[in-house]
Amino acid sequence: MVFSDTINNLGIVQQVRSFMRVDATQWPTAKIVNSSNNWLDKIAGYAIGADRRFQWDDTNHTALPEGTTDMTINVSDYAFLTDQQGNSIVTLTGVSRLISGSNYEPLELVDRNDVNYDPQNFGITSGSPTQYDKIADNIIRLNTKPSGTVVAGLKFFFQRTPSYFVATDTTKAPGFSPLIHRGFVIAAAYDGALTLGLANTQALSLELQKEEAKVIQHFAIRNNDDDKRLMMKPIQFR
């Protein structure tokens, strides 16, 4: 479903106004943009939290959810806040270190507060990093300070915010499965009806609950190609 279709009146913008029974003066496109982007955030939250084996990403993004940064001598802390296009990084899914040429080796994620580590000395000594700890949102600490600077020495993988709508969008569609596009119409229409005190606010609220349930179910079963067989752990006798 495209954002705006003035020819067939089948876009999100046109369907929202149809549900609300209003025109562009009563409910401007900017209002629909805000509601649609809020719904984008809500769906992205479901998608990211639904299944750690399936890293969701908005299909409207034109670059892969990965990037590189220099590994700097004697610097053990690194922040990954935005991608190369300025999108906010929601969560890191992995960090690797350049070992030769274009070959990267994954670093092991650890918690420096575990009994196996000394949190006061984690990242203090110099050497080749093999582990990292998430010390804050999207901020990591390497287990050792790099003994030299390496251009693009760290490669990081992440999940990020969606590709948001702007008022001038026309053919752009939500970067999710078309099966859940209707939710954008209902969510935006409900916001408008609630704001204007329209008579069908309650009816739209019920429809919105249905769309939210559809979203939750969609992301709960989307990874059908993943074999989820239960494996029994062998019993060890002593």
Alpha carbon distance 61, 237 (integer Å): 52
pLDDT exceeds cutoff 60 at 124: yes
What's the pLDDT score for residue 220?
84
Give 17-61 pLDDT, tens digit per residue: 999 999 999 999 999 999 999 999 999 999 998 867 778 999 999
| Residue whose C-alpha is closest to residue 131's, from 157, 149, 162, 105 | 105
pTM of the model: 0.86
What's the pLDDT score for residue 137?
87
pLDDT exceeds cutoff 60 at 6: yes
What's the pLDDT score for residue 231?
47
pLDDT-above-90 percentage for the chain: 87
Alpha carbon distance 215, 209 (integer Å): 10
Q: DSSP 3-state assignment of 128?
A: coil
Contacts with 185 (C-beta within 8 Å, 6 or more apart), sequence order: 1, 12, 15, 16, 19
Give 168-221 pLDDT, tens digit per residue: 999 999 999 999 999 999 999 999 999 999 999 999 999 999 999 999 999 887
The residue type of 8 is N
Q: Give me the DSSP letters along 160-224.
A: E------TT-SS---SS-GGGTHHHHHHHHHHHHHHHT-TTHHHHHHHHHHHHHHHHHHHHS--T
pLDDT exceeds cutoff 80 at 230: no
Q: Which two tokens stand for residue 19?
A: 């549900």
- pLDDT greater at residue 233 or residue 203: 203
**Which string of b and e fits 32-62 if b means at least 16 CB within 10 Å?**
bbebbbebbeebbebbbebeeeeebbbeebe
